[in-house]
Structure 1
Amino acid sequence: MSTGASTKDFASRLDQTADDTEAVLTKVLADGVLPDEIARPKRLMDAMRYSSLGGGKRLRPFLVVESAAVFGVHREQALLVGAALECIHCYSLIHDDLPAMDNSDLRRGRPTLHKATDDATAILAGDALLTLAFDIVTRDEIHEDATVRLLLTRALARCAGLGGMVGGQMLDLAGEGRFGDTGPVDVARVQQMKTGALLRYGVIAGALLGQATQKEYKALDDYGRALGEAFQIADDLLDVEGDAAALGKPAGADAALNKTTFVTQLGVEGARKRVADLIATADASLSIFGAKGDVLRAAARFVAERKN
């Protein structure tokens, strides 16, 4: 049994991937990168940069890079897939913050996009980042095998869409009583879709890039599912116990919106125990990879112990 990656090594790798992802996104969103015939409205480009550059831990791209590294995939290929995933994540934050959704004024320690600009610009910037993600993930340099690119694209669409993040957001809003539905909320299902699906994609994308065996794919899929749920429970705990300065967004937002969360269902101590159980599950899922899974094991611990 491996002793795992050190905290210092993990932090260094996470920071490096964040820097590398920033560089890829900066290049993708630079003037002149797109073909000349494609118009690039300055206000829209500025809004996309505002919401996707200069912030965030870049955990999702990190999961792509490190899960792909298990199979020896070139870092540049994984970073492109990670950048596509981060575009989806950033678009989701823009739309989640809108008045019609979570109505947030603060994100990553500064005004949300609709506060810095206006609702229409925020909606269109989110739409543009969403569609840009599929431009990126289909690029030839990601993998020479078109079937691999197809599988990556299909999986991203499924994790981001109706049966993933967007569907989960709809169920989450219903759980707030937005549509007159006062029935019980299946929190595990909501969060597996809304939050967990994109985290899971970060892991299975590495398996797809590495053309993993069925057994290897399932192991990483199991890890990704456990990690995604642990991340959301940790987020629920931070919403109760954290502060806005550390979080970079308002604390107590779930209670204000009357959300049913893992904490409201399990209590604080019950939620903490559930996180511990999930991290153990995630760790066990990686056993077939031996020491190659150490960084992913450290990522699970990071998710459980994070303070923002």
Structure 2
Amino acid sequence: MFQSSLKSAAERIETRLTEALAGAADQPVTQAMRYAVSGGKRLRGFLVLESAALYDIAPEAAVDAAAAVEALHAYSLVHDDMPCMDDDDLRRGQPTVHVKWDDGTALLTGDALQTLAFELLSAPACHPDPAVRIDLVASLARASGIDGMVLGQAQDIAAETAGRSLTLDEITELQANKTGALIRWSAEAGARLARADIAPLTAYSTALGLAFQIADDILDVEGDAAKTGKRVHKDAEAGKATFVSLLGLDGARARALALVEEAEAALDPFGGRADPLKAAARFVISRES
């Protein structure tokens, strides 16, 4: 049931992103944008659609916000894969953008995907109330900028440059920014669209984001590149401290499970309506990619 819902959400978001890029001139950056947003689980977009459903907001009324966060996420991956960052040559089982094209095209592709995200959120089609659209734009800017994802990436680079192993508290803070901030925004988006209290979804998604990252750390140790679609064992090769290196595999799994239970408990006020979001929490620690 969950997998079919995730697939349905992914198809809806894929269609919206295709529409958003349909009018762009056919040149390398546009081609690379289409390439970068293709594939993937669309988990963040799924969280937008399902959190909106808690407030009886139809998928077609939430799909622009879902497409926006997927465009923003794709930008972050394109830049993260570049030689000046993580220097990865494989993403979703395909050559990364800078490998398939070049560094300049990859840089511009990420820039254009970021601006596309805010274009989608600011357009009247996203929500009829300008105040809601401004809130979505401002909150995504915070989640993706120097108070969120960019801060986390900067913290990661600083630790690697200094050759210093982070403590568990420092890794938790770093990953709450680098990975967790966009996941939080995605789950909160439904409440923002509904002009409702975001607190329950903030609690849910904060736990979910950390569980997601712990699962990623486990996959980097145990995963199969053919299934993950990206290089594995890179954290150990780089000497990075991770949840696994500090807690061990069993400890990391136990921590991830506890976080999933915490995420599910935060959704109790919504009753059975939150079952898809609870299933998403269980999915993030059982996935193979």
Q: TM-score, normalised by structure 2?
A: 0.97
Give the distance between the partners of 2:132 and 2:65, measured in 1 at CA.
12
Asked if 2 retains the 8 angstrom alpha-carbon contact of 1:63 and 1:203, the reply is yes
Which position in structure 2 is the counterpart of 1:115?
99
Match of 1:19 among 1, 7, 11: 11
Q: Where in structure 1 do 4 or more consecutive aligned residues deviate above 2 Å? A: 180-185
1:182 maps onto 2:164 in alignment? yes
Where does 1:30-179 land on structure 2 (aligned, <5 Å)?
30-31=22-23, 40=25, 42-53=27-38, 55-176=39-160, 178=161
Give the distance between the partners of 1:46 and 1:271, measured in 2 at CA.
39
Gaps of 5+ in 2: none
Name whichever of 73-82 and 116-125 sits farther off: 73-82
Question: Which residue identity is paired with 1:303?
Answer: V
1:247 maps onto 2:228 in alignment? yes
Which position in structure 1 is the counterpart of 2:209?
228
Give how far 1:16 is off.
0.3
Give the distance between the partners of 1:253 and 1:184, measured in 2 at CA.
17
Give how far 1:74 is off.
2.0
- 3-state DSSP class of the match of 1:144? coil
Asked if 2 retains the 8 angstrom alpha-carbon contact of 1:175 and 1:260, the reply is no
Question: Which residue identity is paired with 1:157?
Answer: A
Offset from partner CA, 1:77-112 (integer Å, 9 cap, x none): 211101000011000000110111111010111110
Change (3 A) 1:248 1:224: same
Question: Which residue identity is paired with 1:25?
Answer: L
Which position in structure 2 is the counterpart of 1:272?
253
Asked if 1 retains the 8 angstrom alpha-carbon contact of 2:165 and 2:240, the reply is no
Give aligned pairs, total.
Answer: 287
Give the distance between the partners of 2:163 and 2:288, measured in 1 at CA.
33
Offset from partner CA, 1:134-183 (integer Å, 9 cap, x none): 1111111111111111111111001000011111001011121x1x3636
Q: TM-score, normalised by structure 1?
A: 0.91
Match of 2:218 among 230, 237, 247: 237
Give how far 1:41 is off.
6.2
Give the distance between the partners of 2:94 and 2:163, measured in 1 at CA.
34
Give the distance between the partners of 2:239 and 2:84, measured in 1 at CA.
15
- 3-state DSSP class of the match of 1:127? helix
- 3-state DSSP class of the match of 2:152? helix
Give the distance between the partners of 1:286 and 1:183, measured in 2 at CA.
35
- 3-state DSSP class of the match of 2:128? coil
What percent identity do the matched residue pairs reach?
A: 49
Match of 1:282 among 263, 271, 277: 263
| Larger RCO (CA under 8 A, 6+ residues apart) | 1
- 3-state DSSP class of the match of 2:125? helix
Gaps of 5+ in 1: 1-8, 33-39
